Structure 1
Amino acid sequence: MDAVVHGGILIISSSKYVIEQKKRLIALSIILLVGFHAASYAHYAQKEKVIKVFHSLEETASVKASAGKKSILPVLPRVEIGPCTFMQKFDKYHADCGTLFVKEDPTESHTAKNNARVVSIPIIIFQPAGEVTGDPVVITGGGGPGSSIYIMDEFDGDPSLYYSGIELSTLQNGLPLILMEMRGSGLSLANLDCPAITELEIELLTTYPYKFDNKQFVKTNLNCANRKRALGVDANFYNTDYAINDIDALRELLGFQKWHLLGISHGTRISLRYAQQYPQHTASLILDSIYPFEVDSYVDMPELSARIFTQPFTLCDADPRCRLENGQTSETLFASFMSEIKLNPPTLEVEYDDENWTVGQKTLKISPELVAYTLYNNSYDGEAILAFPQIIKDALNKDYAKLSRLISEIIDLQNYTWFSEGAYSSYACYEEIPFSNTELAIKNAKKYKSPYWDDLPAINLDLQLCKIWNIKPALNNIKSFDHNQLTLPVLILAGDLDTFTPTKWAIDFHAKLPMRNKTQHLRVWPLKAHNIVHGDKCVEAVITSFLNDPEQTIDNDCTLQNVSDIKTDAL
């Protein structure tokens, strides 16, 4: 689960190294549960390029499969690979960039008279530092679903953002690393992005008092869906099953017999589905912040949302360095603060960069909903969760610097990850929304509703998406995953503070595996939240051990000596 939002508004986070890393973190982790609740939107660093790219996305219904000569019918699927632009300033590893071309509808004929509609999918292939010693590792999609994994020019100046957190286990361990977008997201074409939804979210978020506008959200989604249909895009061809076929098409074109799959959040579903359909080509699975098919995320969402606003303060009360001296609980302090700003909303100056890259200050009245949204958004990061109590303490003392900074980062469009609202709908309506226990989800939303947070509008809005986008649900028992058939090596990584894909999901899934604790392992980290594969040497050491020998996966309590030994061996 990667991004849930209150009333249809996005979830993002930040801070300089942290801003760039969290961009990647959220790009790799926006969970299914609340589509626009996790909307994301980003531009290229170069304004001219941004405009050009977005115009092409809107005006092009499909990528024309051309091979230079019109008389020659391009082969589909096919892959075109060339040098990456960032290679001019990057020499740590060799990297190739390219595009996978596949038919939107695999059953469509492809002839000289009737060229099939084509989907283009960006890819990057990093080669290891030394000799290739094993099968490649493939990152299977971002979170959301609908989130990009950041194959774009914006980070060409720092390609390490592409492999941060898994360099030791892959590129320093003799294994190539392959990144590919999922169809419908990122810079894939056709693209199902709907920027107007993000603009509406920001407008509502920065208007006092905050009020969710279901009618306007429905209208904006319908306009986007109609525009995509007018361009010839059929959103029914953008889902998990078509995505895994794309992955295997790339494998075959690159000539690999097997590869390891690394999925994060909704990407774990892509990995699991691939392993289910193509076990002979799956060497192992690494599942970070697992989102199992069998869970009902809408039923669980309200309780998980409520946990976001209690967990940080419970942790604070258990720590002598954080808890209040008068014995008052931090959670009570938080409730007092939210009540106070409801009666007397503070006015803050926040930085706000709009879609035209206009940088400046914006004066906002701060509502309880905006504060809740700000904390919610940052709950992907364990360190941020632990900082929440101090932020509230400072705000109660009229020191709003830290809170203002968090709010600025959230409403700054430049900090938004790429998120395709249409792709969210197409994937979610295929595998999740139609299978939810709606009655229980609504009951739970009412049960856990607070004065500043209400999941019910978001749930009700999502229930309308499938009709708006005219998406048909899966007919192949996609929610009935047969755990007994999953006998290949599996490493499940979870964070004990994760409120988007809770540890319980990971524990329950692991308990059903036939080779658990032999070649199928679960590792849960305390004081970590969503997306464990994120710049942690201990996590890297566990992944390296697993890839080298699934039967000897090391424990979580990696010592510096363990990490040093593994790194020395890898080099």
Structure 2
Amino acid sequence: MISRVLLALALSLTPPTAPGDVEKQPCPVAMPESTTCGFLVVPERRDSPDRKIRVGYAVHVSTAEDRKPDPVVYMSGGPASSSIQLTTFLSQMFPDRDVVAVEQRGSRYSKPRLGCPELAEAMLDRLRGSGDGTAAAAGECRRRLELQGVDLRGYTTREIAADVVALRQALGYPSWNLFGVSYSTRVMLDVAASDPVAVRSVVLDSFLPESVNWYDDAERNLGDTLARLGLKDRFDAAVARLNASPARVPTRDPLLSSAFTARLTGDDVATIMAEALHGADVIAVAPPLVGALASGRDEVLRPLADAVGDGLASHEFGLYEAVQCQDEVPFNTFTTKSRLFTVQTDKAVCDAWKLPKSAAVNATTQAPVLVVGGQFDPTTPARTSKPAAEALPNARFVEFAGTGHAVFLANPCGRRHIAAFVAAPTQSDSSPSSPTQSGPTQSGAARPAADCAPDKATVHPRLDPADLHITGAPYQISRSPWLAAPFALFALVSLVQLVAGALKGRAVTAFAGLAGTAFSGLVAQSVYGLVSQNETALGAGVPALVAAYTWVAAGSAALTLAALALRRRGPQCVATVVAAGFLVWWFAWFL
């Protein structure tokens, strides 16, 4: 008896080191009430468990009266995308369930954080036209991480999946619902295979099957998406033009906080477009965007170039490349050199790092599975995700119109389908089959939301080239609002003219003010209507009607000049100078 007491006392004084221990920590971002955050302490390599790392997570406890016992556990894609910042969004999507957001080991809210700014800067240098320093940057990054004690061999899909299982055990949930998007669909399928008793359902958004050689498919995926949009020929023409004469595009380096001019070839633009078409907002504006590029209007490239820098700054490239170099790159052939610089970069990093090839998992599950995909997804298209879904024993595939990558982030109808499935993953689908839905109609079928049809519920209205007047000015104004000062001054002076002319009985002045005020209101209304539908469209231009309204502004300026001829006073002189200056700004810069 005494020996048992002494043993228990000794164990209670021993620091916790077992895999699956949790450490509560303040949340790194704003969270809804009833949310706690922490780290899961796990081995960096489970085959050599001495070194421990910390995996970030957040748990939001539902306060709903009908709270369900099995939570939703979510992980973002990438690899290396963060998850915790989506906790609020997910808690609104699943209000009657706890939500667990788990980071990938090595990501932003885990420790260590496997950032690799050297690689991000090397890719920006490429856009500067400074050559390809990827191999040198890869070597520098790896040496720095190894000095921190990081063993890159511990950062694989299999280890990440084991972290998810360990977190469930540590938090004490007997079962839960798995939710993965893009890369993490592989993780969650591995979790379902290795922890089957605890898995109630699985949601795979933008499914990336293990059997798919993503790098070998990358260019075809982009071409197929452009073809489905009816834009492939025009885009190929734009790529050929830019390869012959690269565009010079002002942008910023978010890592160095400095401006530079990017030199974008057609192949660079193809790489950027492959990422941009993830978003349903870009898909909707793709026709006028590609049309502008095909006609030589390179100003529309600026928002795309800025997005590249923002994306590079938000990724932990040490983790990304560690996973890719072990779990993806070795399974591709690379028989021809890709024109996409992201593919070239990953191949160069993996050649430099020489990490071991992972063993294939070939995971499957008997749990009910919902696979959702976007009609125009250039990364995980239905061509590969739908057959992989059909190969799972108890899965259903649903494709959503007008949508790209990560359906749940962009498409409200998609979110409703996912929530309905999690609520009743084994419920039969009583609605008629549609061309976008396939799979079993009994166990594992998703119950669609009653008033949203996946093949009709587009996210943004699609714009035709005739719908937009191409100009880069609105995007520049969005980044530097002071650039709109001439428009604001013209609107203010017009309003003063209208009021003063009406009060003093000066008809010409009043009509000049009325025309200027009407012009300002019509432009504001048109731009607001476009922004309400799709803010991204302002990156390509303004509604075509805005250009037509120019004649109203010209009429206001002519009447202002006439008022000056009738009465030469200081206010009329000021109004005339403002109107003339505005028209110069409008024609020479804005339009």
Give the whole-Å Cα distance in 2 for the aligned partners of 1:549 and 1:380: 29
- Report what 1:521 is aligned to: 396
Q: How does 1:290-301 map to 2 (within 5 A)?
A: 290-301=207-218
Give the whole-Å Cα distance in 2 for the aligned partners of 1:297 and 1:399: 32
* 1:162 CA drift (Å): 3.5
Contact 2:134 2:348 in 1 (8 A): no
Could you say which structure has the higher helix fraction? 2
Residue 81 (str. 1) matches residue 52 (str. 2): no
- Report what 2:409 is aligned to: 534
Residue 422 (str. 1) matches residue 318 (str. 2): yes
For each residue in 1:121-156, what CA deviation from the matched residue of structure 2 results, as whole angstroms up to 9, or x when unmatched? 11111122413213011113x3232x22254xxxxx
Q: Which amino acid aligns with 2:280?
A: G
> Residues 362, 234 of structure 1: CA spacing in aligned structure 2 closer, same or farther, 3 A cutoff?
closer
* 1:435 CA drift (Å): 2.9
Give the whole-Å Cα distance in 2 for the aligned partners of 1:344 and 1:470: 36
* 1:469 CA drift (Å): 3.0
* 1:339 CA drift (Å): 4.1
* 1:506 CA drift (Å): 2.1
- Report what 1:6 is aligned to: none
* 1:399 CA drift (Å): 5.0
- SS for the counterpart of 1:199 is helix
* 535-544 or 263-272, larger mean C-alpha shift: 535-544
For each residue in 1:27-61, what CA deviation from the matched residue of structure 2 results, as whole angstroms up to 9, or x when unmatched? xxxxxxxxxxxxxxxxxxxxxxxxxxxxxxxxxxx
Out of 38, 56, 59, the residue aligned to residue 125 of structure 1 is 59
> Residues 340, 527 of structure 1: CA spacing in aligned structure 2 closer, same or farther, 3 A cutoff?
same
- Report what 2:564 is aligned to: none
Residue 181 (str. 1) matches residue 123 (str. 2): no
Out of 123, 128, 135, the residue aligned to residue 70 of structure 2 is 135
For each residue in 1:238-290, what CA deviation from the matched residue of structure 2 results, as whole angstroms up to 9, or x when unmatched? 11221122112211111111111101111001001111111011111100011
* 1:373 CA drift (Å): 3.1
Q: Which amino acid aligns with 2:320?
A: Y
- Report what 1:149 is aligned to: 82
- SS for the counterpart of 1:552 is coil
Q: Which amino acid aligns with 1:418?
A: S
- Report what 2:87 is aligned to: 162
* 1:197 CA drift (Å): 0.5
- Report what 2:357 is aligned to: 473
Q: How does 1:347-386 map to 2 (within 5 A)?
A: 347-348=248-249, 350-358=250-258, 362-386=260-284
Residue 490 (str. 1) matches residue 369 (str. 2): yes
Give the whole-Å Cα distance in 2 for the aligned partners of 1:120 and 1:229: 17
- Report what 1:257 is aligned to: 174
Give the whole-Å Cα distance in 1 for the aligned partners of 2:420 and 2:118: 45
TM superposition score normalised by structure 2: 0.65
Residue 199 (str. 1) matches residue 121 (str. 2): yes
Residue 245 (str. 1) matches residue 162 (str. 2): yes
> Residues 355, 85 of structure 1: CA spacing in aligned structure 2 closer, same or farther, 3 A cutoff?
closer
* 1:169 CA drift (Å): 4.1
Specify every segment of 5 or more residues in structure 1 that has no aligned partner in the other structure, as ranges: 1-70, 110-115, 152-158, 315-329, 564-571
Out of 291, 294, 310, the residue aligned to residue 393 of structure 1 is 291
- SS for the counterpart of 2:24 is strand
Give the whole-Å Cα distance in 1 for the aligned partners of 2:391 and 2:237: 44
Residue 277 (str. 1) matches residue 175 (str. 2): no
- SS for the counterpart of 1:534 is helix
For each residue in 1:299-321, what CA deviation from the matched residue of structure 2 results, as whole angstroms up to 9, or x when unmatched? 32232233354443x1xxxxxxx
- Report what 2:510 is aligned to: none
For each residue in 1:208-265, what CA deviation from the matched residue of structure 2 results, as whole angstroms up to 9, or x when unmatched? 8xx6x2xx21221122222322332211111122112211221111111111110111
Give the whole-Å Cα distance in 1 for the aligned partners of 2:261 and 2:45: 49
Contact 2:223 2:232 in 1 (8 A): no
Contact 1:136 1:260 in 2 (8 A): yes
Q: How does 1:325-336 map to 2 (within 5 A)?
A: 331-336=232-237
Contact 2:127 2:262 in 1 (8 A): no
Q: Which has the larger radius of gyration?
A: 2
Identity of aligned residues (%): 24
**CA RMSD, aligned part only?**
3.1
For each residue in 1:316-367, what CA deviation from the matched residue of structure 2 results, as whole angstroms up to 9, or x when unmatched? xxxxxxxxxxxxxx5444344444445555544x342532435xx5444543
Relative contact order, CA 8 A, sep 6+: which one is greater?
A: 1
Aligned residues: 425
> Residues 546, 505 of structure 1: CA spacing in aligned structure 2 closer, same or farther, 3 A cutoff?
same
Q: How does 1:525-564 map to 2 (within 5 A)?
A: 525-552=400-427, 558-560=449-451
Contact 2:327 2:358 in 1 (8 A): yes
TM superposition score normalised by structure 1: 0.67
Residue 231 (str. 1) matches residue 165 (str. 2): no
